């Protein structure tokens, strides 16, 4: 290439030193409560909360919670963080699957043996050499699109130096890779709702909680469980909404919960429980709309001013046009299992009260998932509630402490991933479909796509093997892939089906920086190094820095800077830096950012309601689209232009005798699969070492199942063994098993741990979003008569020594590293300033990573919340907006 390629070794020999590294990296915070207590404490922050780590003789021995930052820490912080740090599931050394190591030269690496054969401990040079060779082999022989990143989500730890970002930075320097589009959490609504109400909504701030306390009469929870789900955060949990929820409850707000099972939130808020058959919420809201219209309770003036398409949807509800079925309460009762008189009473209550409706993300993780939130929006618009104090809709009350007032301050941002030169993508919920069908055409967000032929998967900090649906099918599909590399701290499922395993240190074993309050954005936290790395693990930054060095990209990856310089730069991009110097912040461990008083009175969508012409929504019409011409024009069979009831391919309405509906909510003691390795936490809830499954007492007794029995949930996709928890607080016909546990297959192919995704299907939500349908599942249930020993999911896999393997170490010529020059010579060009700002600053949780992933209007819908977090001033925001408009999926050529 035309530029000089310095190496890390050369840089260090040149005498460069980190900014204040010796002082900053070893500093410790004072004890937050007791000045006479053990002084060797170091401030850190995690998804589970901020804390001071107590270290003795170089070993973490305790977690000191900090009441001034988090008054309600959970067991995940107080027990789980310590537990998992030294758990036997830690990956201590670089590992390579035996057949891959023996046959890397010939290519006969036996991918069918993934998940079965042992691993071999290797040194870091060998592991990085083989990884670099696989990247270059794949890119050279098949093109960069044949490298697939399964590292969506970014939940591995709370810092800005997340492995998915660092992986993206490195791979983009060598030309890019195929990435995922959308996400797992809210894949359907994040595509549909911007066209309906002008914003993703699922990742948007909620009305300030005081406006709910002071104005709301009825708060309707539709599958929503904020007390459970707000125990963790994408960045750092502080449980700030728990006391406000109590104040809202104690102010006399009436809570009603529509859910197949009673939840922790229902108990906490004294909610009235209304049972509903899973996946039938659309039918309920259609029937309530019918009754509102029948009683003349609709707000015609509101719909005339603030919506479009109301007449088309109302005609459908009333049974006019092609669908001649009036959506009466009696019609819905047969679908939902809710009595028609109850539907009428609820409809009248919601229409005549100041009503706020909270919809869970789980509602749209279903076939036709786009319809559910849309139906809730239409019902709220029909009754004239959206945008007014104490009323309307919200789809993020259960996430990020939704309801906390927003500071509007900028938070720390890390390194840019840079431009990905591969435009092809795969929807996040369609990985198995992609692997099975290279070259197949699909649509996503109204745009055509083609699945690539994947020869390499690079996975960093993401347990995709626990996320993806129909796990058995995924395992078979992986046999088509030549190489799988996984970077992780523990032996999760994503590592156990990998060829090369690179051991990352935990966040406690390196420095980082983060912020608190997904929506409030009112704190910046130092994530200080607490202990030395366990075994030979390295930080994510060091892993990708080492790989960049192998590829001759060290200078570009590091910008020629030491690590702590990047951490300081991240802090300087936050608003906290305007008031508090970095040295003072790092010494203390955290900095607060002021929340303005006016934020406490903010009401979602109120600016639009106050002035719809001056503050139009970012929809095509500028108004709420109760019928969306844009979606209708796509002519997608399973996603019409308005919320309609469509029967699911499997649900209780078409179940075979004995089948039950399976729902898989987020766990109480985990963040998805994180913390499953904590033995102390497992002791609190597992049943005979397996995932608990909540079963209606009547369903259990009919099958001869007692509380605490091991049971099998099974269908034609797989079988899982779980522990029975009998309850009267889940409706008959429904089972509830938490998502995310670590799998372990027994000799019969059953998951001996209880991973729900061995039961789920790869059915898409629709052709609009291609999102997952994890909650559209039927399975049968029986008592397990022949469990094969204890659950071994948390043990290390079999590991053999190097002297038991016939292995020839690669030399420089074998690696062919010079091939990178040919790959990248044509790629490097100066980015325009706006492009650089976008990649460096405008990264949001769950947001699209490339301009062409969204339309112009969709970008306009999410940038109002993106730009303040990125700390852009008005001029910078205008520059980035212009760049996005020129490169959006629907931008003129």
Q: How far apart are CA 158 and CA 538, in angstroms?
A: 17
Q: Residue 142 corresponds to which tokens in the numbers above? A: 């098949």
Closest CA to 766 of 536, 430, 507, 495: 430
Helix H, strand E, coil C: the string for 185-209 is CCCCHHHHHHHHHCCCCCCCCCCCH
Q: How far apart are CA 634 and CA 195, in angstroms?
A: 13
The whole-number pLDDT of residue 13 equals: 44
The whole-number pLDDT of residue 830 equals: 58
Q: How far apart are CA 616 and CA 607, in angstroms?
A: 9
Q: How far apart are CA 54 and CA 69, in angstroms?
A: 17
**To which residue do tokens 């959006």 refer?**
888
Q: How far apart are CA 609 and CA 386, in angstroms?
A: 8
Neighbour order of strands in the sheet with 392-394: 272-274, 254-258, 218-222, 355-359, 392-394
Question: Which regions of 412-543 does DSSP assign to beta strands (E)?
Answer: 425-427, 441-444, 447-450, 456-460, 483-488, 500-503, 512-516, 523-527
Tally of CB atoms within 10 A around 714: 17
Q: How far apart are the first and last CA of the chain?
A: 31
Phi, then psi, of 823 in degrees rounded to 5 = -70, -35
The DSSP bridge partners found for residue 779 are 660
* Kind of pairing between the strands at 660-663 and 778-783: antiparallel
Sequential DSSP letters for 227-239: HHHTTS-SSB---
What b/e string do you get for 457-475 counting C-beta neighbours within 10 Å, with b at 16 or more? bbbbbbbbbbbbbbbbbbb
- Cα 584 to Cα 57, 254, 316, 325: the distances in Å are 27, 46, 62, 67
Q: How far apart are CA 363 and CA 223, in angstroms?
A: 7
The whole-number pLDDT of residue 707 equals: 98
- Cα 700 to Cα 4, 385, 703, 708, 735: the distances in Å are 69, 42, 5, 11, 10
pTM of the predicted protein model: 0.92
Phi, then psi, of 351 in degrees rounded to 5 = -75, -25
pLDDT tens digits for range 314-372: 999 999 977 899 999 999 999 999 999 999 999 999 999 999 999 999 999 999 999 99
Question: Which regions of 647-717 does DSSP assign to beta strands (E)?
Answer: 660-663, 692-696, 710-715
Where do runs of H (alpha helix) occur along 368-446?
A: 370-382, 431-436
Q: Residue 65 corresponds to which tokens in the numbers above? A: 């919670």
Contact between 26 and 511 (Cβ < 8 Å): no
Question: Which regions of 307-354 does DSSP assign to beta strands (E)?
Answer: 307-308
Q: Residue 806 corresponds to which tokens in the numbers above? A: 């016939």
Q: Residue 772 corresponds to which tokens in the numbers above? A: 């997952």
Residue 129, helix vs strand vs coil: helix
Q: Residue 401 corresponds to which tokens in the numbers above? A: 């402490």
Contact between 514 and 158 (Cβ < 8 Å): yes
Q: Residue 59 corresponds to which tokens in the numbers above? A: 């070993």
Radius of gyration of the chain (CA): 27
Mark the ranges of the chain whose per-residue pLDDT is less than 70: 1-39, 825-831, 840-841, 843-849, 869
Phi, then psi, of 578 in degrees rounded to 5 = -70, -20
Q: How far apart are CA 497 and CA 152, in angstroms?
A: 18
Q: How far apart are CA 413 and CA 836, in angstroms?
A: 13
Closest CA to 772 of 851, 669, 664: 664
Q: How far apart are CA 319 and CA 165, in angstroms?
A: 50
Closest CA to 259 of 245, 242, 232, 279: 279
The whole-number pLDDT of residue 869 equals: 67
Contact between 219 and 349 (Cβ < 8 Å): no
Q: Residue 868 corresponds to which tokens in the numbers above? A: 């303040």
**Chain-centroid distance, C-alpha 119:** 30
Closest CA to 417 of 148, 172, 158, 182: 172
**Range 264-269, long-range pairs (CB < 8 A, 24+ positions):** 264/225, 264/227, 264/228, 264/668, 265/221, 265/224, 265/225, 265/226, 265/227, 265/228, 266/221, 268/227, 269/219, 269/221, 269/227, 269/245
The DSSP bridge partners found for residue 460 are 487
CA angle, residues 391, 396, 397, in degrees to nearest 5: 65
The whole-number pLDDT of residue 374 equals: 98
The whole-number pLDDT of residue 19 equals: 32
Q: How far apart are CA 350 and CA 843, in angstroms?
A: 38
Residue 486, helix vs strand vs coil: strand
């Amino acid at each position: 290439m035309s530029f000089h390629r310095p190496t890390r070794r050369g840089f260090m020999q040149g005498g460069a030193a980190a900014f204040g590294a010796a002082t900053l990296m070893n500093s410790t915070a004072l004890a937050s409560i007791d000045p006479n207590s053990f002084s060797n404490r170091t401030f850190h922050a995690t998804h589970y909360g901020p804390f001071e780590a107590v270290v003795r003789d170089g070993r973490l021995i305790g977690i000191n919670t900090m009441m001034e930052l988090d008054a309600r820490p959970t067991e995940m912080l107080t027990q789980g963080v310590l537990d998992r740090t030294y758990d036997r599931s830690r990956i201590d050394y670089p590992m390579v699957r035996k057949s891959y190591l023996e046959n890397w030269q010939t290519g006969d690496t036996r991918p069918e043996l993934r998940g079965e054969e042992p691993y071999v401990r290797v040194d870091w040079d060998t592991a990085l050499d083989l990884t670099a060779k696989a990247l270059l082999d794949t890119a050279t022989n098949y093109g960069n699109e044949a490298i697939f990143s399964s590292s969506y989500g970014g939940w591995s730890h709370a810092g800005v130096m997340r492995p998915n970002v660092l992986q993206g930075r490195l791979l983009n320097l060598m030309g890019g890779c195929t990435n995922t589009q959308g996400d797992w959490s809210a894949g359907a609504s994040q595509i549909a709702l911007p066209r309906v109400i002008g914003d993703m909504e699922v990742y948007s701030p909620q009305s300030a909680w005081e406006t709910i306390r002071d104005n709301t009469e009825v708060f309707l929870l539709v599958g929503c469980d904020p007390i459970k789900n707000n125990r963790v955060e994408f960045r750092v949990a502080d449980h700030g909404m728990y006391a406000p929820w109590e104040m809202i409850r104690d102010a006399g707000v009436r809570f009603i919960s529509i859910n197949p099972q009673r939840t922790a939130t229902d108990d906490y808020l004294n909610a009235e429980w209304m049972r509903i058959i899973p996946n039938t919420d659309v039918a309920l809201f259609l029937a309530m709309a019918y009754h509102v219209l029948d009683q003349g309770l609709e707000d015609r003036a509101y719909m005339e001013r603030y919506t479009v398409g109301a007449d088309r949807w109302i005609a459908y509800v009333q049974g006019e046009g092609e669908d001649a079925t009036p959506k009466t309460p009696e019609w819905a009762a047969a679908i939902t299992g809710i009595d028609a008189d109850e539907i009428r009473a609820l409809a009248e209550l919601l229409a005549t009260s100041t009503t706020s409706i909270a919809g869970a993300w789980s509602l749209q993780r279903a076939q036709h998932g786009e319809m559910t939130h849309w139906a809730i929006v239409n019902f709220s618009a029909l009754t004239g509630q959206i945008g007014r104090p104490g009323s309307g809709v919200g789809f993020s009350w259960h996430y990020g402490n939704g309801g906390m007032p927003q500071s509007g301050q900028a938070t720390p941002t890390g390194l840019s991933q840079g431009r990905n030169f591969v435009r092809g993508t795969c929807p996040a919920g369609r990985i198995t479909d992609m692997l099975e069908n290279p070259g197949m055409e699909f649509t996503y967000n109204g745009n055509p796509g083609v699945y690539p032929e994947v020869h390499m998967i690079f996975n960093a900090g993401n347990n995709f093997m626990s996320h993806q649906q129909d796990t058995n099918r995924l395992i078979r599909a992986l046999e088509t892939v030549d190489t799988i590399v996984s970077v992780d701290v523990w032996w999760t499922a994503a590592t156990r089906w990998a060829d090369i395993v690179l051991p990352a240190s935990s966040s406690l074993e390196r420095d980082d920086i983060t912020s608190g309050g997904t929506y409030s954005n009112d704190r910046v936290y130092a994530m200080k190094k607490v202990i030395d790395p366990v075994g030979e693990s390295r930080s994510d930054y060091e892993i990708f820095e080492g790989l960049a060095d192998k590829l001759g990209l060290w200078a570009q990856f590091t910008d020629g800077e030491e690590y702590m310089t990047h951490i300081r730069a991240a802090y300087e991009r936050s608003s906290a830096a305007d008031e508090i110097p970095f040295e003072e912040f790092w010494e203390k461990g955290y900095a607060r950012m002021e929340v303005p008083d006016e934020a406490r009175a903010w009401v979602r969508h109120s600016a639009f309601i106050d002035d719809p012409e001056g503050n139009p929504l970012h929809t095509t019409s500028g108004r709420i689209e109760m019928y969306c011409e844009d979606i209708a024009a796509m002519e997608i069979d399973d996603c019409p232009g308005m919320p309609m009831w469509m029967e699911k391919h499997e649900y209780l309405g078409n179940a075979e005798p004995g089948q039950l509906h399976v729902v898989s909510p987020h766990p109480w003691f985990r963040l998805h699969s994180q913390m499953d390795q904590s033995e102390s936490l497992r002791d609190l809830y597992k049943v005979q070492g397996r995932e608990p499954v909540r079963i209606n007492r009547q369903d259990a007794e009919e099958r001869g199942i007692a509380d605490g029995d091991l049971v099998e949930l099974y269908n034609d996709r797989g079988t899982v063994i779980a522990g029975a928890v009998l309850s009267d607080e889940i409706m008959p016909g429904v089972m509830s098993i938490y998502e995310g546990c670590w799998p372990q297959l027994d000799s019969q192919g059953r998951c001996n741990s209880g991973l729900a995704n061995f039961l789920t299907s790869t059915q898409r939500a629709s052709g609009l979003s291609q999102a997952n349908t994890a909650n559209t599942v039927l399975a049968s249930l029986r008592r397990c008569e022949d469990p094969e020993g204890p659950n071994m999911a948390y043990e290390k896999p079999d590991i053999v020594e190097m002297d038991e393997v016939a292995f020839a170490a690669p030399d420089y010529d074998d690696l062919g590293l010079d091939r990178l020059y040919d790959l990248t010579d044509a790629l490097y060009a100066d980015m325009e300033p706006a492009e650089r700002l976008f990649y460096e600053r405008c990264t949001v949780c769950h947001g699209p990573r490339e301009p062409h992933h969204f339309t112009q209007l969709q970008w306009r819908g999410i940038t109002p919340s993106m730009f303040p977090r990125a700390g852009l001033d008005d001029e910078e925001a205008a520059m980035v907006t212009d760049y996005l408009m020129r490169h959006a999926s629907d931008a003129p050529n």
